[in-house]
């Protein structure tokens, strides 16, 4: 909680700080937990239900932890026409999980995201902070290295 | 030091780098990095150290030739610069040992030269066909300067536009923008000068400026590339716009999916502060400005102006009715101008070079140049910039080099989910605001997704509806439920459950959604269906009546088969099939068990280069 207080102390507590605050909490903990919600609510004086309302509107926010390796496959138009669906299905088969899930050992999680801006080298995916491009069923291994 | 003195020094340093130094420029925007630019850089460093050779290594942005990334540029004293593409580890080593150390350029990997002088066997980069038709103005510095070094931007004439604007009043700046004829590059093409004027006319104490860097349009990355390659050109435009509308606070709303753009923006803003280009009393003019970066949180609708403002205010990003327009009642209730990244960069360019130079290309109603991200099944994918009025054909075939694998062109999707698919018989359409609307598409932000015969147009329409349905904020019933229903109908058609009635339901739904939706997301959501039914009705009918997907893409209508005449039993397909659907022993013809096959296409992919024995056939 000390870490959380450190994050909170960087803000004035205005309503317009809400989204950046949630972003900071998520980048620190990997997700936003109930205990964080409570603190954020006390700090900003915005009711928890309303914070949930805001947070769930944006796809960036998650309320369960990610895997150690988080794979976000792009489903933008360029990636779609070059085979993003095959990439997602390939990863799902490899990890035996569905999109949006985390492997039971917490190693990997998979999700689909909007355009990563790497469309010229489609299909693309982001693995933690690194973008892997020109993926194919053959090169899927790139994602698990 | 005064800014003029800094500029003189930086000009000297920059010219020195290009004419008197051993240096390597590494194209390290997101696209370059994903293609291996950092790996190439590491190898180059190692080789240089091994040889104890003195050579600068400079990170630059993306020159736009993404299809041959990673790209590096070698600078030697008294020689033109040489651009190299597809720089693998091996090529990187060779370049260091041959070109950098021995001074012997490598023809086979060179893309072209840049600058004065000639090198035998290597053409000038900008004289190559795909570059010649381009007019690089907004992108003039991309790939040629270090985006994390304000000195490079200053050396290239940067911030001279802002200095000029400082000596002008708002009316004079607006008149310059009007003369240039620049229209907003975020999609709708609203005249920029007019928006700025409306904001001033609302006559309030506090005004805000917002730079829209959300770029949610899937398949478009022009804004990302510019922010990563030349952030100061956007920031200079922000200064000019803020000065014009008397804003003391400017926001940049940039999506979180662009971490490198965000990082480079932060660096650039700090450099502006160090050089007296931000903060209080900028350059002694009495003008104050603070720039605040707001990270988007993954909602396409937040690109819409009123939703974007709600998001900055800490709310759910839902649009509201207009009027009041943001220029009268915007962020925190104050008059607000919202402009796109490229619009901001255009303002800097106009003030730097003058309205006349800016508008000496383009058409009567669409002035200047526009950047596009050229992607999909086209050979030369990347970022381009052409005068407005250039035809789709020139862009796709001359600049883009045509279709990959020598396939046939089917359509180009332009304008993202709000736009449309332009078919072959409209390929001579000039790219300008009105011509595109004439063929059912729209300029949008600049994503051009090229599709070949292997793309099913019903599936494309379904894809866009799925996108829109997911991204609808849910406020309006027609948008929330109507797009869901459209999606269901399209899904049925691609899954072989379509009926002829569906073709009547679609236009009715389109009408209702267009009329009943509050924001442009809902209003334009039927466009993918409207243009694909207009130009590709035969594909819809084929799915419904003949149960055939002409592109052989929709899984329900196809199956995979191995041609016994071509198969030589190499086992490649068998080993790679993820579900064990292939059987056969070595050197004997293989077979696919259709009950097990999940139609993933791996086997075909792998066999293509060998025997090309796996084929897709109609299931019926
Ligand atoms: C659903 C939706 C998404 C949009 N996304 C963007 C975007 O990502 N970037 C952008 O500049 N404009 C976007 N726009 C257009 C903006 O609302 C606005 O018109 C534009 O930023 C104005 O800038 P300009 O006058 O410089 O074109 C979007 C509009 C809608 C309806
Ligand atoms: S049209 Fe759709 S996205 Fe726009 S406000 Fe209505 S529900 Fe939201
Ligand atoms: S298409 Fe995929 S599942 Fe079917 S046989 Fe080929 S590799 Fe196996
Ligand atoms: S469409 Fe996938 S990176 Fe843009």
> Measuring CA to CA, which residue among B299, B196, B209, B189 is closest to residue B252?
B209
Whether chain B has a CB inside 8 Å of the CB on A127: the answer is: no
pLDDT tens digits along A18-73: 999 999 999 999 999 999 999 999 999 999 999 999 999 999 999 999 999 999 99
- How close does chain B come to A1, measured CA to CA in Å? 23
Is B377 in contact with A78 (Cβ distance < 8 A)? Answer: no
Half-sphere exposure of residue B612: CA atoms within 13 angstroms, side-chain side = 1
Across residues B511-538, what is the average pLDDT? 96
d(CA B40, CA B89): 6
Across residues B399-413, what is the average pLDDT? 96
> Considering only CB atoms, which chain B residues are within 8 Å of A20?
294-295
If one counts every other C-beta atom within 10 angstroms of the C-beta of residue B54, the result is 8
Whether chain B has a CB inside 8 Å of the CB on A77: the answer is: yes
For chains A and B, count residue pairs whose Cβ atoms are closer than 8 Å.
160
Tokens linked to B474: 């849910």
Ligand 3 is surrounded, with C-beta below 6 A, by: B 560, 577, 579, 581-582, 592, 597-603
Q: What is the pLDDT of residue B47?
A: 97
Q: Nearest chain A Cα to B376, which residue?
A: A78
On the 0-12 / 13-18 / 19+ scale of CB atoms within 10 A, B449 is: buried
| Per-residue three-class SS string for chain A | CHHHHHHHHCCCCCHHHHHHHHHHHHHHHCCCCHHHHHHHHHHHCCCHHHHHHHHHHCCCCCCCCCCCEEEEEECCHHHHHCCHHHHHHHHHHHHCCCCCCECCCCCEEEEEECCCCCHHHCCCEEECCEEECCCCCHHHHHHHC
Q: Is residue A1's pLDDT more than 80? A: no
Is A81 in contact with B460 (Cβ distance < 8 A)? Answer: yes
- How close does chain B come to A50, measured CA to CA in Å? 9
Whether chain B has a CB inside 8 Å of the CB on A140: the answer is: no
Q: Nearest chain B Cα to A56, which residue?
A: B316
* Percent of chain B surpassing pLDDT 70: 100
Q: Nearest chain B Cα to A21, which residue?
A: B314
Give distance in angstroms: CA of B189 to centre of ligand 1: 10
Q: What is the pLDDT of residue B129?
A: 87
- How close does chain A come to B41, measured CA to CA in Å? 16
Is B314 in contact with A54 (Cβ distance < 8 A)? Answer: yes
Q: What is the pLDDT of residue B156?
A: 97
Q: What is the pLDDT of residue A22?
A: 96
Q: What is the pLDDT of residue B242?
A: 98
Q: What is the pLDDT of residue B1?
A: 76
Q: Please indicate whether residue B204 or residue B139 has the higher confidence score (pLDDT).
A: B139
Whether chain B has a CB inside 8 Å of the CB on A114: the answer is: yes
> Is the entire prediction scored with pTM above 0.90?
yes
> Considering only CB atoms, which chain B residues are within 8 Å of A82?
376-377
Measured by CA distance, the residue closest to atom 1 of ligand 2 is: B522
Task: Confirm or reject: Cβ of A74 under 6 Å from ligand 4.
Answer: yes
Out of B413, B605, B606, the one facing A77 most closely (by C-beta) is: B413
Across residues B139-155, what is the average pLDDT? 98
Work out the pLDDT band at B546, boundaries 50, 70, 90: very high
If one counts every other C-beta atom within 10 angstroms of the C-beta of residue B428, the result is 11
Q: What is the pLDDT of residue B301?
A: 97
Ligand closest to B306 (CA) is 1
- Please identify, by atom number, the ligand 3 atom nearest to the C-alpha of residue B573: 7
Q: What is the pLDDT of residue B606?
A: 87
Give distance in angstroms: CA of B613 to centre of ligand 4: 31
pLDDT tens digits along B433-488: 999 999 999 999 999 999 999 999 999 999 999 999 999 999 999 999 999 999 99
Ligand closest to B415 (CA) is 1
Tokens linked to B54: 């003195």
Whether chain B has a CB inside 8 Å of the CB on A145: the answer is: no
- How close does chain A come to B446, measured CA to CA in Å? 13
Measured by CA distance, the residue closest to atom 6 of ligand 2 is: B476
* Percent of chain B surpassing pLDDT 90: 95
Give distance in angstroms: CA of B33 to centre of ligand 2: 36
- Please identify, by atom number, the ligand 3 atom nearest to the C-alpha of residue B560: 1
Is A19 in contact with B311 (Cβ distance < 8 A)? Answer: yes
On the 0-12 / 13-18 / 19+ scale of CB atoms within 10 A, B325 is: middle
Work out the pLDDT band at B609, boundaries 50, 70, 90: confident
pLDDT tens digits along B41-57: 999 999 999 999 999 99
> Considering only CB atoms, which chain A residues are within 8 Å of B299?
57-59
Is B377 in contact with A81 (Cβ distance < 8 A)? Answer: yes
Tell me the best of B305, B418, B474, B485 to mutate to test the pocket of ligand 2, counting ligand atoms within 8 Å of each CB and taking the most.
B474
> Considering only CB atoms, which chain B residues are within 8 Å of A90?
578, 600
Q: Is residue B608's pLDDT more than 90? A: no
Q: Is residue A145's pLDDT more than 90? A: no
Work out the pLDDT band at B188, boundaries 50, 70, 90: confident
Peptide bond into B431 cis (omega under 30): no
Give distance in angstroms: CA of A128 to centre of ligand 3: 30
Where are the extended beta strands (E) located within B186-230?
Answer: 207-213
What is the DSSP code string of B568-585? ----HHHHH-TT--EE--
Q: Nearest chain A Cα to B598, which residue?
A: A89
Q: Nearest chain A Cα to B411, which residue?
A: A81
> Considering only CB atoms, which chain A residues are within 8 Å of B257?
113-117, 126
Task: Confirm or reject: Cβ of B319 under 6 Å from ligand 2.
Answer: yes
> Measuring CA to CA, which residue among B395, B384, B421 is closest to residue B139?
B384
d(CA B371, CA B386): 7
Q: Is residue A142's pLDDT more than 80? A: no
Give distance in angstroms: CA of B514 to centre of ligand 1: 18
Helix (H, G, I), strand (E, B) or coil at B217: coil
Across residues A91-119, what is the average pLDDT? 94
């Amino acid at each position: 909680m000390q870490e959380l207080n450190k994050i909170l102390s960087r803000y004035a507590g205005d309503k317009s700080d809400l989204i950046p605050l949630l972003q900071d909490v998520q980048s620190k903990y990997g997700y936003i937990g109930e205990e964080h919600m409570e603190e954020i609510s006390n700090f900003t004086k915005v009711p928890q239900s309303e914070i949930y309302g805001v947070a769930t509107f944006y796809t960036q926010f998650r309320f369960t932890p990610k895997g150690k390796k988080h794979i976000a496959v792009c489903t933008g138009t360029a990636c779609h026409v070059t085979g993003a669906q095959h990439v997602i299905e390939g990863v799902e088969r490899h990890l035996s999980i569905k999109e949006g899930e985390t492997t039971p050992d917490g190693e990997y999680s998979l999700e689909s995201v909007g355009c990563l801006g790497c469309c010229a080298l489609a299909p693309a995916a982001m693995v933690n902070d690194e973008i892997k491009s020109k993926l194919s069923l053959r090169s899927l291994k790139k994602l698990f290295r | 030091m005064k800014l003029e003195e800094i500029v003189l020094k930086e000009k000297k340093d920059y010219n020195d780098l290009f004419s008197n130094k051993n240096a390597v420029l590494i194209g390290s925007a997101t696209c370059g990095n994903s293609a291996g630019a950092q790996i190439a850089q590491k190898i180059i460093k190692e080789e240089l150290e091994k040889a104890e050779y003195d050579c600068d290594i400079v990170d630059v942005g993306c020159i736009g030739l993404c299809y041959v990334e990673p790209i590096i540029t070698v600078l030697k004293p008294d020689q033109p610069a040489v651009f190299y593409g597809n720089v693998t580890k091996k090529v990187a080593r060779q370049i260091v040992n041959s070109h950098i150390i021995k001074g012997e350029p490598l023809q086979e990997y060179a893309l072209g030269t840049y600058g004065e002088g000639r090198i035998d066997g290597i053409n000038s980069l900008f004289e190559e066909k795909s570059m010649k038709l381009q007019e690089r103005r907004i992108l003039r510095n991309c790939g040629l300067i270090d985006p994390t070094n304000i000195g490079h931007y200053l050396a290239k004439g940067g911030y001279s536009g802002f200095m000029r604007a400082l000596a002008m009043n708002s009316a004079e700046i607006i008149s310059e923008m009007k003369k240039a004829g620049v229209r907003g590059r975020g999609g709708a093409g609203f005249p920029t000068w007019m928006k700025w004027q409306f904001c001033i006319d609302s006559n309030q104490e506090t005004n805000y400026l917002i730079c829209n860097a959300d770029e949610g349009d899937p398949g478009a990355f022009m804004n990302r590339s510019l922010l990563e390659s030349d952030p100061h050109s956007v920031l200079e435009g922000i200064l000019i716009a803020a000065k014009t509308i008397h804003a003391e606070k400017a926001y940049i709303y940039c999506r979180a999916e662009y971490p490198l753009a965000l990082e480079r923006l932060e660096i650039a803003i700090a450099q502006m502060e160090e050089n007296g280009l931000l903060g209080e009393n900028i350059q002694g003019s009495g003008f104050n400005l603070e720039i605040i970066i707001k990270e988007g949180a993954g909602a396409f609708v937040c690109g819409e102006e009123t939703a974007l403002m709600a998001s900055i205010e800490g709310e759910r990003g839902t649009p509201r009715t207009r009027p009041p327009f943001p220029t009268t009642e915007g962020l925190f209730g104050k008059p607000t101008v919202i402009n796109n990244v490229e619009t901001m960069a255009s303002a800097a360019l106009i003030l730097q070079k003058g309205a006349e130079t800016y508008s000496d290309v383009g058409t009567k109603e669409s002035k200047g140049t526009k950047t596009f991200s050229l992607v999909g099944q086209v050979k030369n994918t990347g970022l381009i910039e052409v005068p407005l009025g250039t035809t789709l054909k020139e862009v796709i075939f001359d600049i883009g080099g045509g279709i990959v694998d020598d396939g046939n062109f089917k359509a180009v999707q332009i304008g993202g989910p709000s736009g449309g698919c332009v078919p072959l018989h409209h390929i001579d359409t000039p790219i300008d605001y009105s011509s595109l609307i004439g063929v059912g598409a729209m300029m949008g932000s600049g994503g051009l997704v090229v599709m070949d015969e292997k793309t099913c147009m019903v599936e494309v329409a379904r894809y866009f509806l799925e996108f829109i349905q997911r991204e609808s904020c849910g406020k309006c019933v027609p948008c929330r439920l109507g797009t869901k229903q459209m999606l269901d109908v399209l899904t049925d058609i691609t899954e072989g459950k379509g009926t002829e009635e569906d073709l009547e339901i679609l236009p009715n739904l389109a009408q209702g959604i267009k009329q009943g939706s509050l924001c442009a997301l809902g209003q334009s959501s039927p466009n993918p269906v409207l243009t694909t039914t207009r130009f590709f009705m035969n594909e819809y009918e084929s799915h419904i009546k003949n149960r055939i997907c002409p592109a052989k893409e929709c899984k329900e209508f196809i199956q995979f088969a191995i041609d016994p005449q071509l198969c030589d039993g190499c086992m490649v397909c068998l080993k790679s099939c993820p579900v064990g659907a292939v059987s056969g022993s070595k050197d004997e013809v293989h077979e696919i068990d259709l009950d097990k096959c999940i139609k993933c296409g791996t086997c075909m992919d792998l066999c293509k280069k060998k025997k090309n024995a796996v084929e897709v056939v109609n299931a019926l």
